[in-house]
Structure 1
Amino acid sequence: MTPSPPWHTEAPLHQWLITHLAVYLDRLPENIEVTVPLAEYGMDSVCALSLCGDIEDDFGIVVEPSLVWDHPTVAHLTAHLTSRGADPDRWQR
């Protein structure tokens, strides 16, 4: 049996990221691949800062503005945010 990709077990966070990124990148959520660098979709510093603000607001964790550049794919972001305790089931809002 093939092991599940790491983002599969963090499905709610994965979906949260995809939903927010789709808005910022002006794409359909189903067109965002988890292993494609966000820069290839047109992620820029304005989008990155907006995403960081949403993460801080929704999860109550402080993230660096370089988050998207340090963790450049949805899969990397999901793993990093999970390790920091981000849990969409317990949003701060």
Structure 2
Amino acid sequence: MSPDTIRMWLRERVAFYVERDPEEIDPDVELVEIGLDSVFAMSLSGDIEDEFGVFVEPTVAWDHPTVNALTGYLHDVVVTI
């Protein structure tokens, strides 16, 4: 799976939670600044597990605080499985 595919999916999920268009989600801005709160971050970690079939810590959105950081992390994890 390409980083671009992962990035697009993440932007769509984050946009869903913060009720914005995916195009409005800047992949270099911290998720908390975009409006992602702890409840939505936990939901996002579950979405990631469901979509990519990998286990991630519930803190994954805080450990990798931007869409681009999270994309890089997930790309590394998904490629190794």
Q: Same fold (TM over 0.5)?
A: yes
Q: Which has the larger radius of gyration?
A: 1
User: 2:32 and 2:60 mapped to 1: Cα distance?
Assistant: 13
Q: Over the residues paired in the alignment, what is the CA RMSD in angstroms?
A: 1.2
Counterpart in the other structure of 1:77: 70
| Percent identity (aligned) | 47
User: 2:45 and 2:59 mapped to 1: Cα distance?
Assistant: 9
Among 15, 19, 25, which residue is 1:26 paired with?
Answer: 19
User: 1:42 and 1:11 mapped to 2: Cα distance?
Assistant: 22
User: 2:53 and 2:32 mapped to 1: Cα distance?
Assistant: 25
Scaled by the length of structure 2, the TM-score of the pair is 0.91
Counterpart in the other structure of 2:39: 46
Displaced runs of 4+ in structure 1, greater than 2 A? none
Counterpart in the other structure of 2:58: 65
User: 1:36 and 1:59 mapped to 2: Cα distance?
Assistant: 23
Unmatched 5+ residue regions in structure 2? none
User: The residue matched to 1:24 in structure 2 has which SS?
Assistant: helix
Scaled by the length of structure 1, the TM-score of the pair is 0.80
Residue identity matched to 2:20: R
User: 2:77 and 2:32 mapped to 1: Cα distance?
Assistant: 23
Counterpart in the other structure of 2:10: 17
Deviation of 1:23 after TM superposition, in Å, equals 0.3
What do the CA deviations read for 1:28-61 (whole angstroms, capped 9, x no partner)? 1111101000100111111101111111111110
Unmatched 5+ residue regions in structure 1? 1-8, 87-93
